[in-house]
Structure 1
């Protein structure tokens, strides 16, 4: 039972962020801007139908990566996973911006056995054992996603905002802790460290449980990978982009599907 639960969570982590679907994965901190020598935040992590209401199942914390403003890794405090959400506490003592991310990577395969179509999802080192030897018409895709949020202590900035050069990443032009209604906010998307041009970016304000429509905002990255939103209303926003290419890191895979999702808080003026 535990194995099935973990596999289901892995499938969600790899597949759901690739489009604006009913189920969305997210990280939501209790606060995005804090101050004081003993500041803490609690972060929820889940996959849900409504933003940001945990109603489906929890996001797994195995691939949680927290980076402090000086670039050093940070371990979460009191991590736990329940039926519909995971959560952890984070001490926010260093001045600057913390990056909190779930970084997932794996494979998805379609194949046939005795004329019946089958599917498999898992990690690269599980592929050989996961696909039967008599499988035919095997098609393997590599999938990588980054789901993240930011918390700022005092003045925003720091080494945590530097890109790793792997997958689809966001570089703030407007700092995450400086987002307010009525002002344009600009960001840059990088794919493997280079500007990701021509990508559709979607932003959805949270609390969709209490609206009849998602009320999506869509825009597109320019030649430098930059995009801009003007947020009319305050709240926690789910920002998502995805793309596909042939730049796989696993020889068995013929295509790569890459996604990025962030939770950004917009405050009233």
Structure 2
């Protein structure tokens, strides 16, 4: 079984499952690759998608794959072979037949609203095109938010390139300064964040080394982007790292929409020198 996702269709109408982690749902969402840097003519990489309490441990819930987008080294969407979903993880394979960098992401978004009908609080999800008929007569206290989420990772066959890493200018996203598959211990790595194509300045980022299950403390770090949306980090241990960030503001151009909420998370691997 395979699925194919095109960026054009995603921009028109994105599914609304698992949009953003709220205060009551603080589990980390991640895509875990079986490998990130490979050589040879062709490789198959397996990815696990889950949300969990401990990083990279299947202890909570599988992530749905409805919103899976895989971009090849030429920037075009390619198929992934879906292996299935269980209670705590979903899995899929990506066949890498071209040299370069692949971007693997779960991307979702849309509108979410809360309103009251009498004394009862209601929730609505949909698209901007549906707003005019979204709420019943007598609805009050209507509050509408534009929400989006991106969970992603990266893998490279042969020499890395950046075609698949070009920004979409939709929601919160990370664009490379340091290539995400050319990260090594002891060397500063830089990343840039954009929100709808503009620098995400002064944004807080949670940074966590994998293996939290085997440590007494999480040992997470709180980093921050500069005025250009860039942050820098240096690690002293090889392995997989997790980063998470979110933005909430009222910078919205859609009529009737009150606020914007975007989230982002990624898994990166730092290799030994």
Superposition TM-score tier, normalisation by shorter sequence = 0.7 to 0.9
Per the alignment, residue 4 of structure 1 pairs with none
Matched, 1:176 2:176: no
Q: What is the rounded CA distance, in whole Å, between the counterparts of 1:162 and 1:37 in structure 2?
A: 24
How far is the alpha carbon of 1:113 from its aligned partner? 3.0
Q: Which of 57, 70, 77 is the aligned partner of 1:73?
A: 77
Segments of 5+ residues of structure 2 without an aligned counterpart are 1-14
Aligned position for 1:3: none
**Moved beyond 4 Å, runs of 4+:** 18-21, 125-132
- Is 1:200–2:192 an aligned residue pair? no
Q: Residue 122 of structure 1 aligns with which residue?
A: 125
* TM-score, normalization by structure 2: 0.86
2:16/2:109 contact within 8 Å kept:
no
Please list, as runs of the form range in 1=range in 2, the aligned pairs for 1:205-220 lying within 5 A after superposition: 205-220=209-224
Shift of 1:213: 2.2
More deviation, 68-77/231-240 = 231-240
1:14 and 2:19 aligned: yes
Structure 1 residues 213 and 175: alpha-carbon distance in aligned structure 2, compared to 1, 3 A threshold: same
Which residue of 2 is the match for residue 6 of structure 1?
none
Whole-angstrom CA distance in 2 between matches of 1:251 and 1:76: 37
SS of the counterpart of 1:14?
coil
1:52 aligned partner: 56
Instruction: Please give the residue correspondences for 1:71-150 in structure 2 after superposition, counting only pairs within 5 Å.
Output: 71-116=75-120, 118-120=121-123, 122-124=125-127, 131-150=135-154
**Contact 1:156–1:176 (CA<8 Å) still a contact in 2?**
no
More helix by share: 1
C-alpha distance in structure 2 between counterparts of 1:10 and 1:115, whole Å: 26
Segment of structure 1 superposing worse, 259-268 or 122-131: 122-131
8 Å CA contact 1:145–1:259 kept in 2: the answer is yes
Q: Let me know the Cα RMSD of the aligned residues.
A: 2.3
The 1:20–1:136 alpha-carbon spacing in structure 2 relative to 1, beyond 3 Å, is closer
- Conserved? CA contact 2:67–2:108, under 8 Å: yes
Contact 2:65 2:106 in 1 (8 A): yes
Equivalent in the alignment of 1:5: none
Is 1:40 matched up with 2:44? yes
Q: What TM-score does the superposition give when structure 1 sets the normalisation length?
A: 0.87
- In structure 1, how many angstroms separate the alpha carbons of the residues matched to 2:260 and 2:153? 24
| Aligned residues between the structures | 258
Aligned partners of 1:188, 1:67: CA distance in 2, in Å?
Answer: 19
Deviation at 1:106, TM superposition (A): 2.5
Q: Distance in 2 between matches of 1:260 and 1:199?
A: 12
CA distances 1:17-54 after superposition (whole Å, capped 9, x unpaired): x6896311111110011111231100111111221112
The gaps in structure 1 that reach 5 residues or longer are 1-8
* 1:63 has 2:70 as partner: no
In 2: Cα distance, 1:102 partner to 1:91 partner: 17
State how far apart, in whole Å, the 2-side matches of 1:177 and 1:90 are: 16
Distance 1:130 1:236, change over 3 A: farther
